[in-house]
């Protein structure tokens, strides 16, 4: 199974979470380290769910980006 992850700057490190697995989070000193950590966290999270007899959620989140031009960004800053 393939789950979408989100990696964010947390100031002094990076955090990662899985939208389809609430409570599944990890941190790392770099984005790559956070990605490695969240992979392990996903495995542990799913293992715990199986052990508890909980249903494993299907991966349903989609990841994308929205490109805004500089004029769009300035217009949103003023509003």
Write out pLDDT tens, residues 33-67. 999 999 999 999 999 999 999 999 999 999 888 88
Does residue 1 lie in a domain region? no
Distance (Å, whole) CA 5 – CA 28 = 14
The per-residue pLDDT for 66 is 84
Domain count, the chain: 1
Cα separations (Å) of 34 from 3, 28, 43, 71?
Answer: 15, 4, 14, 33
Does residue 19 lie in a domain region? yes
pTM above 0.85, yes or no: no
Does residue 31 lie in a domain region? yes
Per-residue pLDDT tens for 1-27? 899 999 999 999 999 999 999 999 999
Those residues whose C-beta lies under 8 Å from the C-beta of residue 67, and which sit 6 or more positions away, are none
* Ranges assigned E (strand) in 22-64: 25-28
Structural domain containing residue 60:
6-78
């Amino acid at each position: 199974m393939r789950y979408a992850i989100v990696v964010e700057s947390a100031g002094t490190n990076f955090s990662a979470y899985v939208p389809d697995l609430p409570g599944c989070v990890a941190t790392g000193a770099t984005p790559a380290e956070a990605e490695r950590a969240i992979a392990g966290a996903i495995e542990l999270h799913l293992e715990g769910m199986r052990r508890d007899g909980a249903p494993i959620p299907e991966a349903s989140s989609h990841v994308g980006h929205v490109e805004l031009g500089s004029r769009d960004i300035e217009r949103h800053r003023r509003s």
